Amino acid sequence: SQQGEEDPQALSIQEGENATMNCSYKTSINNLQWYRQNSGRGLVHLILIRSNEREKHSGRLRVTLDTSKKSSSLLITASRAADTASYFCATILYSGGGADGLTFGKGTHLIIQP
């Protein structure tokens, strides 16, 4: 079953602008991860934020996590045409021990217009 829900489902902005995507989830988590998927390809891991972290940066990416609201946001600053892709948040339901498959949200389809 799906855990995360991204918002908005689609976002179109001009190159150079910032893009913000949100993710809400339903249950307790160990961490929340963001992935990017170019059309017809596999997913690429972008950033992982642990449940005890509130904010994390990686290059032009900034991720926040609010466990009280069960939500996360991904900010891409100074967007580029190459950032056009679908972005997914993913979580692992806490089940104790071992690695578990990630549960993905529906994704935000981001289009950067040159």
Interaction pattern, residues 41-80, with other proteins; x per rule: CB under 8 A: xxxxx--x-x------------------------------
Specify the DSSP class assigned to residue 80: -
Answer yes or no whether residue 21 interacts with other proteins by CB under 8 A. no
CB 5 to other proteins: min, Å? 9
Among the listed ranges 56-64, 67-75, 77-85, 94-102, the one in contact with other proteins (CB under 8 A) is 94-102
- Of the residues 14, 59, 99, 114, which one makes contact with other proteins according to CB under 8 A: 99
Answer yes or no whether residue 110 interacts with other proteins by CB under 8 A. no
Task: Give the alpha-carbon dihedral of 60, 66, 72, 78, to 10 degrees.
Answer: -20
Answer yes or no whether residue 114 interacts with other proteins by CB under 8 A. no
Q: Enumerate long-range contacts of 79-84, CB under 8 Å, 24 or more apart.
A: 79/13, 79/14, 79/15, 79/16, 79/17, 79/18, 79/19, 79/110, 79/112, 80/15, 80/112, 81/15, 81/112, 81/114, 82/112, 83/19, 83/110, 83/112, 84/110, 84/111, 84/112
Q: How many residues bind other proteins (CB under 8 A)?
A: 26
Interface residues with other proteins (CB under 8 A) are 2, 30-31, 33, 35, 40-45, 48, 50, 88, 92, 98-107, 109
